Amino acid sequence: MKVLKFGGTSVGSAKNIHKVISILESISKSDNCIVVVSAVGGITDKLIDAANKAVEKMSSYKNAYKKIEERHLNIIDGLIDNASKKEFVKEIVLAKLTNLEQLLDGLYLINELSPKTTDKLLSFGEQLSSFIISETIKSKGLDVALKNSQELIVTDNNHTNAAIYIKETETNIQSFFENNNSKITILPGFISKSIDGEYTTLGRGGSDYTAAIVAAALNVEELQIWTDVSGMYTTNPKLVKQAKPIEKLSYQEAVELSHFGAKVLYPPTVQPVLDKNIPIVIKNTMAPKDAGTYISKESTNGTSLAVKGISNIDNIALLTLQGNGMVGIPGFSKRLFETLSNEKINVILITQASSEHSICIGISEKDANAAKVAIDKTFENEISLHKIDPIIVEKDLAIVAIVGDNMRNHQGISGKMFSALGKNNVNIRAIAQGASERNISVVISKKDVKKALNTIHERFFEVRTKQINLFITGIGNVGEKLIDQIQQQQSYLKKNLKIDLRIVGISNSRKMIFNNKGFDLNNWVSEFNYAPKSSIKGFYEKAVEMNLRNSIFVDVTASEAVSNTYAGYLKKNIAVVACNKIACSGDYSNYKHLQELALKYNAPFLYETNVGAGLPIINTLKNLVTSGDKVTSVLAVLSGSLNFVFNNFSDKKNFHDTVKQAQFEGYTEPDPRIDLSGIDVARKILILARENGNVMEIDDVEIEPFLTQANLESNSVDDFYDSLIKDEAHFQKLYASAKANNCQLKYVAEFSKGKAKVGLREIPEGHPFYNLKGKDNIVMFFTERYPEQPLIVKGAGAGADVTASGLFADIIKIASN
């Protein structure tokens, strides 16, 4: 024999009740089943609403009653096809509803709703639903009996939350079922009668309690609780889409998860079956074939995972009682908890420092103000003598807990939890762990709950797949290439590196769009066309508001204003990847500040593309320095743009046309003066000098210009190009000199003995720079370990594809750590 309980959405509509009946029809073929049902979904609230309106002399209570009547009649219409049977059921239901209406009329007249009357009022819901369901089952030709639970369950007179007289109740249940041979027996849940025959109800979770009492009294095979979810989940599936049903739990694990927010079970109501070691199965009415969750005495869940689930409670206030006068003085805890008990305030979490200097407790936020007043009054003498401080109240908090019987057998569980939260800038305000080591609870800001649940779930339950959330600003040539490369590699990264790379924010100087779930990269352009107006501040604020774990801001612009936001991102634990050189080549103090923020907030700041596009130049330098080598000098061609220009310029092709070609093919900035002035190369060698540990500013880099004064003083790009034509003889002279000396023209950056300079050089044949083709870059690191034969990094140093791949490499580097 099995006991099944259906409530909430399971009996919320005719369609769902049909599913219930289908389940019962299937189970009753092999087992007798006792079915406990609650009121039709939402009716309890409607009954209370109607009663309150009646008490408050609002004539609209009649309308509220009519809605209750219509709801039940509509459900009957949807359940029973036979016309005469339907009329019979409606007639009885209307008779019961007439009694309800008379009760509401009485409330309207006497202007009072007592607990005793509340119980009588609420009993209508379960009585009506159980009658309608039993008659519907009977109309299907199934063997069914209806028994009023008020004739079985005996309680005290504590209305709205009555305590059961176990002995009398068990005797009644056993006596009835000894003579009941029906395949299906329907019982209304929640309702009962006192020893004096008064209507009573069983309080919160009352229908579960009814089912558990019956199951324990008859020592049945199992108790099934049917809901709208497929069992107890690893965490809240509304907040964590990767959450999955837990196959098996021990009673203790289920109770812990339920206490900390899992709504499927209310722990006190299932105690009777726990005492009898009767298994509980949580099933989904809407998906009856799903396995659900099996809860029993055994602690195994068919897996080696130490953590079985993650739960949370929102709207928590943290109260701290502290002061030097507490140290070594007994009785403070007793007085604190007595005060809260007298105020009927439930304590959810307790933690105390070993120094005895403070006690922290977590309570419901709604009780915080009353608790503060009561505690301050209790300790007013100690407060006046400055032995302790007035109680400190912190609101807008939440508790997140991990639960598992096997946690005590696994070292490092708490470390993994705290590390995962810390890496995502989730600040822990308090920690509590019981001696059983079955539960580790932390208090965090309420705004961080979703991020925390996703972070912890990813750490303990997902197949080492790490979700990375990208906010990309700047979707010009390089930005679009980056998105294309990410789209191409998404599946590979997920399958081979266990990285779930998602783009959740995209912007340029005009528009911005966001998607919490990540954009479909096949359609992002069409979505972006209809995006709202963007702003640098708005993009930053939205990224912070979304508060996603493992977030990375990717700057694919050359904007100083965008670079000024890096500090804000890093402080919010959002990593920064940039090809924008301004932050790292601007004021040294800002460069250093960003490095310090990255370290302080554990938010990486990577900018490999600042120097060599996709070439690992900065990374190579860092590895040399980290390994203890000392870089003595650097010689480099760092401008793919200038290398392209001087590789294509000759006495047969004028300088103006060569620069135009470089711009057309994407090798220069929209304003080529930035590339040709040498400032861009100066910034790059400055960055390398700083990465080598040198304190330098851009003004410390000597720039030897090869442009004429007219070129440098041009007012616009068009004026600049005009000046190139006028000064062609100057450039041909440079070319002729190099040709006469059998040399190649290269724009070279040098760093040695703490000084840096950039300028055009004639490179002789045989030098590593001589045969540097196209847009290639080359860097030669002379170090104590490489004094004569330098360490050389060489390859394409310009172009949208390679720059995008450099950004991509930095993103993967962060994701892999």
pLDDT tens for 434-453 read: 766 788 999 999 999 999 99
Element (H, E) at 759: strand 755-764
- Mapping DSSP to helix (H, G, I), strand (E, B) and coil, where does residue 359 land? strand
- Mapping DSSP to helix (H, G, I), strand (E, B) and coil, where does residue 504 land? strand
Average pLDDT over residues 64-83: 94
Q: How many CA atoms lie within 13 A of 684 on its CB side?
A: 32
Q: Is the pLDDT of residue 754 over 70?
A: yes
Rounded CA separation 460/305 (Å) = 8
pLDDT band at 304 (very low <50, low <70, confident <90, very high): low
Which regions of 152-279 does DSSP assign to beta strands (E)? 154-155, 184-188, 191-194, 199-201, 222-227, 248-250
Q: Does the annotation count 684 as an active-site position?
A: yes
Question: Is 660 in contact with 669 (CB distance < 8 Å)?
Answer: no
Query: What integer pLDDT is reported at residue 17 of this predicted model?
Result: 93
- Mapping DSSP to helix (H, G, I), strand (E, B) and coil, where does residue 415 land? helix
Q: Is the pLDDT of residue 86 over 60?
A: yes
Most confident listed range (63-67, 177-181, 553-557, 676-680): 553-557
Mean pLDDT of the chain: 92
pLDDT band at 262 (very low <50, low <70, confident <90, very high): low
Query: What integer pLDDT is reported at residue 37 of this predicted model?
Result: 94
Strand partners, 575: 552
Query: What integer pLDDT is reported at residue 436 of this predicted model?
Result: 66
Residue given tokens 């739960």 in the structure block: 311
Question: Is 611 in contact with 617 (CB distance < 8 Å)?
Answer: yes
Query: What integer pLDDT is reported at residue 260 of this predicted model?
Result: 64
Average pLDDT over residues 699-711: 96
Q: Which residues contact 136 (CB under 8 A, 6 or more apart)?
A: 17, 21, 79, 80, 89
Q: Give 118-161 as a DSSP string.
A: HHHHHHHHHHHHHHHHHHHHHHTT--EEE--GGGT-EE-S-TTS
Q: Which residues contact 757 (CB under 8 A, 6 or more apart)?
A: 701, 702, 703, 704, 749, 750
Neighbours of 196 (CB within 10 A): 10
Query: What integer pLDDT is reported at residue 255 of this predicted model?
Result: 84
Q: What digits encode the pLDDT tens for the residues 362-384?
A: 999 999 999 999 999 999 999 99
Catalytic residue from among 120, 283, 684, 746: 684
Using alpha carbons only, give the angle 194, 200, 205 rounded to the nearest 5 degrees. Answer: 125
pTM (2 d.p.) = 0.75
Q: Which residues contact 625 (CB under 8 A, 6 or more apart)?
A: 631, 691, 692, 693
Q: Is the pLDDT of residue 261 over 70?
A: no
Query: What integer pLDDT is reported at residue 303 of this predicted model?
Result: 54
pLDDT band at 138 (very low <50, low <70, confident <90, very high): very high
Query: What integer pLDDT is reported at residue 301 of this predicted model?
Result: 47
Query: What integer pLDDT is reported at residue 798 of this predicted model?
Result: 78
Q: Which residues contact 215 (CB under 8 A, 6 or more apart)?
A: 3, 34, 222, 223, 272, 273, 276, 278
Q: Is the pLDDT of residue 302 over 80?
A: no
Share of the chain above pLDDT 70, in %: 98
Q: What digits encode the pLDDT tens for the residues 607-651?
A: 999 998 889 999 999 999 999 999 999 999 999 889 999 999 999
